[in-house]
Copies of this chain bind each other. A is one copy, B any other.
Amino acid sequence: MTDISPVPLTIEGASVLHQVFEFDWKAWRGSPDRHRILEEATAALRELEPGKQSEGDQPKTVQSALYSVLGHKGDLMLVHFRDSVEDLNRIELALAQTAFHSFLRPKFSYLSIVELSLYESSRKTYASLAEQGLEQHSPEWNAAIEKVLDRQREAMAQRLFPSIPAAKHICFYPMDRLRTGKQNWYALPLDQRQQLMHDHGMIGRRYGDRVRQIISGSIGLDDWEWGVDLFADDPVVFKQLIYEMRFDEASSLYADFSSFYVGIRLPIDQLEAWTEGRIGDAS
């Protein structure tokens, strides 16, 4: 056993819930109360916006956004960022109180927590603490690590508790790192993973002006290890970025992908227009 932990230092931020619903168009078309139901729903969804949710401490993050989803995987996607998993459950229960909820059939959801993996900092910190002769997980080592994490949490607060980008399109997908035969991410030394993540990040950086990315971790929370949200005005960029990344070793050798959900931002106030078949008219 070396003095270098294989586990990258990681800091966590907002709790995240993605909810994908199929809309029961048939029941909706037959419903006599559409306008009243939409008024109640729109009010409830507006309640999810900043500053309304928590009555205790001022929450760091109250961010929800609605998207019109492409294809049969669903019709509407809600993305929520909150301070806690419990707050996310409260949103689910609040939504379930509305009449609009009767027209929503849950098709998919994803629970995760915004995270930043501090690969470069991990490598340096572990090396430095090893040089100082501190034993891993000793009280001194723990204290030193905690100090690094605290400093990073403060420096990265805006990325840990992000605002939802205003971009017109979203692309969400869960993913794993492979653990099969020689393609075992978790058996690689930290140094190598740091290098792979660095190269991977360099591709993302070249797309930085066209796409915003939020990574959330879901090990122990949902069925894949990470959730990735991409936000862009032009959805072709999703394809270009992820295609280019697929040739990167971090992806070509070590990534396993689940389903991809693509949606178009739907301001709450345009929900009624959406039910009538209109989208993006104001843009």
Contact = CB atoms under 8 A, between A and B. Distances in A.
Interface stretch (A125-133, A150-158, A175-183): A175-183
A81 to B, nearest CB: 14
Interface of A: 6-7, 10, 12, 15, 17, 19-20, 22-23, 25-26, 29, 68, 70-73, 84-86, 88-90, 92-94, 96-97, 99, 101-102, 106-111, 113, 115, 137, 168-169, 171, 173, 179-184, 186-187, 206, 217-223, 230, 235-236, 238-244, 246-247, 249, 251-253, 258-260, 262, 264, 274, 276-280
Nearest to A90: B279
B239 A107 contact: no
A249 to B, nearest CB: 8
A264 B86 contact: yes
A19 B109 CA distance: 19
Contacts of A93: 68, 274, 277-279
* Number of copies of this chain that the complex holds: 5
A33 B96 CA distance: 18
A79 B253 CA distance: 34
Nearest to A273: B93
A178 B253 CA distance: 10
A72 B243 contact: no
Contacts of A223: 258-260
Contacts of A89: 68, 70, 264, 279
A7 B101 contact: no
Contacts of A113: 236, 239
Given A70-B17, A70-B92, A262-B85, A243 B7 contact: yes
Contact of A262 (B22, B221, B262): B221
B85 A12 contact: no
A216 B244 CA distance: 16
B236 A219 contact: no
A166 B115 CA distance: 28
Contacts of A179: 252-253
B186 A279 contact: no
